[in-house]
């Protein structure tokens, strides 16, 4: 079997070829070309054809017909063509939505979760209690040019007054679709079923293409995002993609619905989490935005940090984090004025890459802050449902976490997946691992991996038509296992014993001792344990430090090897760097030397 998959990005269209060889699916060739959704081409299929043509040249298979379409095989014996063609897209800015709900912290937040989970960028959230006056909300609605609108509000069987008021605010504002006024703006209602009649009267006329699905919050204690997400995908194809340049032709080529790129990434991470029964955190850091994904206890969340990126948004990262926070990760003496010029140059020349060690160190320091800030935003959004009635004790009265507690627990992260240029293309894989550890501060035992060539979108949509092929390629060609991070939770004292460890195993498992030792507070150590090796790692923390079984209790885990190995981090959690600049630079340099970061 031969599969061609493309991802139409905002600047580049990436194509991969997947083949079944000896009963196993493998990714064999990769091609790319500039995306052609904008003028002067205004036809996304030209970029797709060009990227698949590169696959054709590399593989020797004839994949593109004389009329520019993708050739399909009639039988397995045909030398030319493919059996399956699939695609994802974020070209033209991806899927952009406006969401609305009665209460900002409840139904509006559920609507935002549904939109983000479907792969959308949420342009704004309108709510009855968002502190804007009605005329300000109407003005904002008129200014936005969304691809579609999602409206929620009320529990089933509850009062309909506020939901109808919200609808009567949006309808007269008459928001216009992004791709012009030639078609009706798609609007999805996922609120109180008792309000459906009034909603139909409000939005059923000219200007809106109304869809009604099950309520996002049928009760305060329940969130039902699936129907809304599925309808968003359907509307994305039926309305948005149908009016985007060349997408009608692309859809006629594809064997499966075209998915928004972030939605496809979320799908493959959910597939991995469900298949392995683990909790996963994933990140895709780009030039303008950083996407965070998590699956905890089967609950999926995605957030978009729209102003945190490594080129177009690098100045926002430095401004939001503060230059002092960026420079705390730097072990070299750098001139702050020169760094500010470097930041501005990166903004106006976003495709440049570091040409010196100093430039690389600074870029990776900025990435740590971008990732850290994006993770903070994600943890604040990925929470238990707000508004749920809970039985509270006197102690809970003083706790802000009793309602809306974050689902993201650093101790419960089983796997962290890195993606995006600064992570995927770092000169050394040790650098990728340390950036993830410094930014996300995982606790206990955490496996770290990276997406080799940003293949996750292709595999996300492939999972919907051939789950076995998607999983085999993901585990063999997409996911590069870097290794493990072991970090105790709790405050450590510099120079005082923090933990002891023993690692045994080898190429075929076994009990041969690989390494053992003791770490003091503030120390890091790298133990090489290559791919293909498996073994047992026992960690014995000091009193007050926790690696997963409770303070002071030892933990023994079975682990697999990785391209980096095992990183033992005795810096404590939460991570606190020395306040003295000279001491801090010395400490950072020591960690980098221990982990062979810039050798």
Percent of the chain at pLDDT > 70 equals 96
Is pLDDT above 90 for 194? yes
Is pLDDT above 60 for 493? yes
- The Cα 583–Cα 574 span in angstroms is 19
Residue-level pLDDT at 388: 64
- The Cα 123–Cα 135 span in angstroms is 18
Higher confidence at residue 339 or residue 244? 339
Which burial class, exposed, middle or buried, applies to 532 when counting CB atoms under 10 A from its CB (0-12, 13-18, 19+)? exposed
Residue-level pLDDT at 218: 93
Residue-level pLDDT at 180: 62
Give 60-79 as a DSSP string. Answer: ----B-TTSPBPB-SSTT-S
φ, ψ (nearest 5 deg) of residue 435: -60, -45
Residue-level pLDDT at 99: 96
Residue 493: CB partners within 8 Å, gap ≥ 6? 521
Domains and CATH numbers, the chain: 2-91 (3.30.420.40), 94-250 (3.40.50.2300), 281-384+403-487+578-594 (no CATH)
Which of 80-94, 285-299, 399-413 shows the lowest mean pLDDT across its residues?
399-413
In terms of Cα–Cα distance, which of 488, 490, 491 is closest to 499?
Answer: 488
φ, ψ (nearest 5 deg) of residue 598: -120, 35
Residue-level pLDDT at 397: 35
Residue-level pLDDT at 404: 66
User: Token digits for 581?
Assistant: 């600049």
Q: Residue holding tokens 């009639």?
A: 74
Q: pLDDT grade, residue 286 (50/70/90)?
A: confident
Which burial class, exposed, middle or buried, applies to 181 when counting CB atoms under 10 A from its CB (0-12, 13-18, 19+)? exposed
- The Cα 537–Cα 58 span in angstroms is 43
Residue-level pLDDT at 599: 75
In terms of Cα–Cα distance, which of 459, 461, 460, 433 is closest to 447?
Answer: 433
Residue-level pLDDT at 295: 96
Q: Taking all residues of the chain, what is their mean pLDDT, rounded to a whole number?
A: 90
What secondary structure letter does DSSP report for 177?
-
Higher confidence at residue 93 or residue 488? 488
Is pLDDT above 80 for 439? yes
- The Cα 149–Cα 98 span in angstroms is 5
Is pLDDT above 80 for 239? no
How far is residue 542 from each of residues 443, 446, 587, measured CA to CA in Å? 15, 19, 22
In terms of Cα–Cα distance, which of 433, 583, 579, 587 is closest to 521?
Answer: 587
Query: What does the pLDDT average to over 514-538?
Result: 95
Is pLDDT above 60 for 401? no
In terms of Cα–Cα distance, which of 213, 243, 247 is closest to 229?
Answer: 213
Residue-level pLDDT at 392: 41
- The Cα 521–Cα 495 span in angstroms is 5
Q: pLDDT grade, residue 390 (50/70/90)?
A: very low
Is pLDDT above 70 for 398? no
Which of 403-407, 523-527, 540-544 shows the lowest mean pLDDT across its residues?
403-407
Query: What does the pLDDT average to over 33-39?
Result: 85
Residue-level pLDDT at 442: 97
Is pLDDT above 80 for 375? yes
Q: In what order do the strands lie in the sheet with 95-101?
A: 120-127, 95-101, 148-151, 185-189, 208-212
Buried b (16+ CB within 10 A) or exposed e, 274-299: eeeeebbbbbbbbbbbbbbbbbbeeb
Buried b (16+ CB within 10 A) or exposed e, 114-123: bbbbbbbbbb
Residue 437: CB partners within 8 Å, gap ≥ 6? 448, 485, 487, 567, 569
Query: What does the pLDDT average to over 241-263?
Result: 87
Q: Are 182 and 151 in contact (CB under 8 A)?
A: no
Higher confidence at residue 317 or residue 42? 317
Helix axes 107-117, 357-381, angle to 10 degrees: 130
Is pLDDT above 80 for 509? no
Residue-level pLDDT at 427: 94
């Amino acid at each position: 079997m031969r599969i061609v998959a493309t991802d139409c990005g905002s600047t580049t269209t990436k194509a991969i070829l997947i083949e079944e060889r000896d009963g196993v699916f493998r990714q064999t060739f990769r091609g790319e070309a500039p995306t052609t959704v904008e003028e002067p081409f205004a036809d996304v299929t030209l970029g797709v054809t060009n990227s698949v043509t590169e696959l054709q040249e590399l593989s020797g298979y004839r994949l593109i017909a004389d009329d520019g379409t993708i050739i399909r095989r009639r039988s397995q014996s045909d030398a030319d063509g493919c059996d399956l063609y699939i695609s994802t897209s974020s070209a033209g800015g991806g899927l952009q939505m406006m969401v609305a709900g009665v209460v900002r912290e409840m139904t509006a937040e559920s609507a935002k979760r549904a939109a983000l989970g479907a792969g959308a960028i949420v342009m704004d959230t309108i709510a009855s209690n968002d502190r804007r006056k009605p005329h300000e909300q109407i003005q904002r609605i008129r200014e936005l040019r969304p691809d579609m609108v999602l409206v929620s509000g009320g529990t089933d069987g509850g009062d309909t007054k506020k939901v109808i008021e919200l609808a009567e605010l949006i309808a007269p504002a008459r928001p216009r679709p992004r791709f012009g006024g030639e078609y009706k703006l798609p609007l999805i209602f996922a609120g109180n079923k008792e309000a459906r009649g009034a909603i139909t009267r409000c939005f059923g006329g000219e200007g809106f293409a109304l869809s009604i699905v099950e309520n996002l919050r049928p009760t305060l204690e329940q969130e039902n995002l699936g129907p809304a997400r599925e309808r968003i995908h359907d509307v994305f194809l039926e309305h948005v993609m149908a009016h985007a340049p060349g997408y009608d032709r692309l859809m006629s080529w594809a064997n499966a619905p075209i998915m928004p790129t972030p939605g496809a990434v979320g799908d493959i991470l959910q597939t991995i989490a469900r298949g392995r029964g683990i909790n996963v955190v994933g990140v895709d850091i780009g030039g303008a935005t950083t996407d965070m994904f998590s699956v905890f206890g089967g609950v999926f969340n995605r957030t978009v940090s729209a102003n945190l990126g490594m080129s177009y948004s690098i100045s926002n990262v430095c401004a939001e984090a503060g230059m002092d926070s960026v420079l705390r990760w730097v072990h070299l003496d750098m001139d702050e004025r020169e760094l500010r010029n470097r930041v501005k140059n990166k903004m106006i020349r976003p495709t440049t890459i570091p040409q010196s060690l100093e430039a690389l160190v600074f870029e990776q320091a900025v990435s740590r802050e971008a990732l850290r800030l994006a993770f903070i935003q994600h943890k604040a959004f990925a929470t238990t449902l707000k508004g749920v009635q809970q039985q509270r004790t006197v102690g809970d009265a003083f706790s802000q976490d009793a309602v809306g507690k974050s689902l993201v627990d650093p101790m419960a992260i089983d796997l962290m997946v890195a993606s995006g240029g600064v992570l995927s293309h770092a000169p050394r894989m040790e650098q990728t691992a340390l950036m993830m550890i410094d930014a996300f501060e995982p606790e206990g035992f955490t496996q770290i991996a990276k997406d080799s060539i940003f293949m996750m979108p292709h595999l996300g949509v492939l999972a919907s038509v051939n789950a076995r092929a998607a999983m085999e390629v993901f585990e063999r060609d997409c996911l590069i296992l870097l290794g493990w991070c072991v970090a105790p939770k709790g405050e450590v004292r510099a120079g005082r014993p923090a933990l002891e460890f023993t690692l045994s195993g080898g190429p075929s498992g076994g009990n041969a001792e690989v390494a053992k030792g003791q770490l003091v507070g503030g120390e890091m150590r790298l133990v090489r344990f290559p791919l293909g090796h498996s073994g047992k790692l026992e960690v014995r923390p000091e009193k007050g430090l926790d690696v997963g079984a409770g303070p002071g209790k030892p933990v023994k885990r079975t682990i697999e090897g990785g391209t980096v190995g095992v990183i033992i981090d005795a810096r404590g959690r939460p991570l606190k760097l020395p306040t003295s600049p000279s001491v801090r630079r010395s400490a950072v340099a020591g960690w980098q030397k221990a982990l062979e970061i810039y050798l």
